[in-house]
């Protein structure tokens, strides 16, 4: 149902009698039907007017009873009044006035408050707006907290990734350092072994030369002894 503040109460009050009696044009009747479909206050007013209209049809004219002028000269006759009909009419009229003038009666700790023009409604609207603003602020706070948690989680994950990359980089650098040291050590070992091999080769070569020289000496010595022996065996000439 739409808000009562959007209802044209004045248009409804002006045509309610004709509407109940069925004397409205189709266009105005559609407007009144639309108002009744969307306004609870106008629905209540229509129901009260309808009851008043039905009560008016129940009133019947009665003949004035015969009475003697002398008999009622001192005390006039008491007119019989249907208080029920007048009470219903007064109640309906009061309800209409409450709708038209937006009469509000509020019983609070400060006592009974009567206001016109919808001041209590404005206060209710103000409280409703404040409540909605509080709810909206709470939703914003919750949303901000969630976004902050997500940001912290992303930052934490990024820090973990950076730390893992740093460890992996250090591990790779250490492996490269170890490879460099091993390569240097192997190169030095190769150079040392090469130098030892060269020294051994030099010694071996010298040993061979020495052996050859010794053999030559032995051979020379052997050849010298043979020549002496052959010269001693020759005869002396006379």
pLDDT of residue 1: 46
Q: Is the pLDDT of residue 105 over 70?
A: no
- Contact, 39 vs 7, CB < 8 A? yes
Q: How confident is the model at residue 79 (pLDDT cuts 50, 70, 90)?
A: low
Rounded to two decimals, the pTM is: 0.26
Q: Mean pLDDT over residues 53-73, rounded? A: 60
Q: How confident is the model at residue 238 (pLDDT cuts 50, 70, 90)?
A: very low
pLDDT of residue 60: 57
Q: Is the pLDDT of residue 220 over 50?
A: yes
Q: Mean pLDDT over residues 151-155, rounded? A: 82
Q: Is the pLDDT of residue 35 over 80?
A: yes
- Contact, 15 vs 32, CB < 8 A? yes
Give the pair of three-digit tokens for residue 64: 């004035």
Q: How confident is the model at residue 106 (pLDDT cuts 50, 70, 90)?
A: low
Average pLDDT along the chain: 72
Give the pair of three-digit tokens for residue 125: 């609207």
Q: How confident is the model at residue 236 (pLDDT cuts 50, 70, 90)?
A: low
Rounded CA-CA distance 81/6 in Å is 41
For 171-209, write each residue's pLDDT tens digit.
777 778 777 777 887 788 878 888 888 888 778 777 787
User: 3-class secondary structure for the chain?
Assistant: CCCHHHCCHHHHHHHHHHHHHCCCCHHHHHHHHHHHHHCHHHHHHHHHHHHHHHHHHHCCCCCCCCCCCCCCCCCCCCCCCCHHHHHHHHHHHHHHHHHHCCCEEEEECCEEEEECCCHHHHHHHHHHHHHHHHHHHHHHHHHHHHHHHHHHHHHHHHHHHHHHHHHHHHHHHHHHHHHHHHHHHHHHHHHHHHHHHHHHHHHHHHHHHHHHHHHHHHHHHHHHHHHHHHHHCCCCCC
Lowest mean pLDDT, pick from 62-66, 88-92, 184-188: 62-66
pLDDT of residue 2: 46
Beta bridge pairs of residue 113:
106
Q: Is the pLDDT of residue 124 over 50?
A: yes
Give the pair of three-digit tokens for residue 158: 């990024």
Beta bridge pairs of residue 106:
113
Return the number of other C-beta atoms located less than 10 Å from residue 55's C-beta.
16
Residue matched to tokens 């040392």? 192
Rounded CA-CA distance 86/94 in Å is 12
Q: In Å, what is the CA distance from 15 to each residue of 33, 35, 53, 69, 167?
A: 11, 12, 14, 47, 87
Q: How confident is the model at residue 66 (pLDDT cuts 50, 70, 90)?
A: low
Give the pair of three-digit tokens for residue 228: 């002496």
Q: Is the pLDDT of residue 12 over 70?
A: yes
Closest of 11, 1, 32, 13 to residue 99, by C-alpha: 13
Lowest mean pLDDT, pick from 48-57, 100-109, 173-182: 100-109
Q: Is the pLDDT of residue 34 over 50?
A: yes
Lowest mean pLDDT, pick from 26-40, 58-72, 181-195: 58-72
């Amino acid at each position: 149902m739409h808000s009562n503040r959007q209802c044209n109460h004045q248009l409804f009050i002006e045509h309610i009698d004709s509407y109940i009696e069925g004397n409205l044009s189709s266009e105005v009747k559609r407007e009144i039907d639309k108002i009744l479909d969307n306004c609870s206050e106008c629905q209540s007013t229509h129901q009260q007017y309808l009851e008043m209209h039905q009560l008016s049809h129940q009133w019947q004219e009665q003949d004035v009873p015969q009475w003697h002028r002398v008999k009622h000269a001192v005390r006039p006759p008491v007119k019989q009044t249907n208080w029920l009909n007048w009470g219903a009419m007064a109640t309906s009229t009061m309800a209409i006035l409450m709708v038209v003038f937006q009469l509000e009666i509020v019983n609070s700790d400060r006592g009974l408050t009567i206001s016109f023009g919808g001041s209590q409604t404005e206060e209710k609207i103000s409280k409703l707006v404040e409540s909605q603003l509080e709810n909206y602020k709470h939703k914003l706070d919750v949303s901000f907290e969630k976004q902050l948690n997500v940001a912290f989680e992303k930052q934490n994950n990024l820090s973990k990734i950076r730390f893992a990359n740093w460890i992996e980089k250090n591990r790779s650098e250490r492996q490269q350092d170890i490879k460099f040291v091993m390569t240097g050590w192997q190169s030095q070992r190769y150079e040392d072994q090469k130098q030892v091999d060269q020294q051994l080769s030099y010694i071996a070569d010298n040993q061979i030369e020495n052996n050859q020289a010794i053999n030559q000496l032995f051979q020379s010595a052997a050849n010298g002894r043979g020549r002496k022996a052959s010269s001693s065996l020759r005869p002396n000439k006379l």
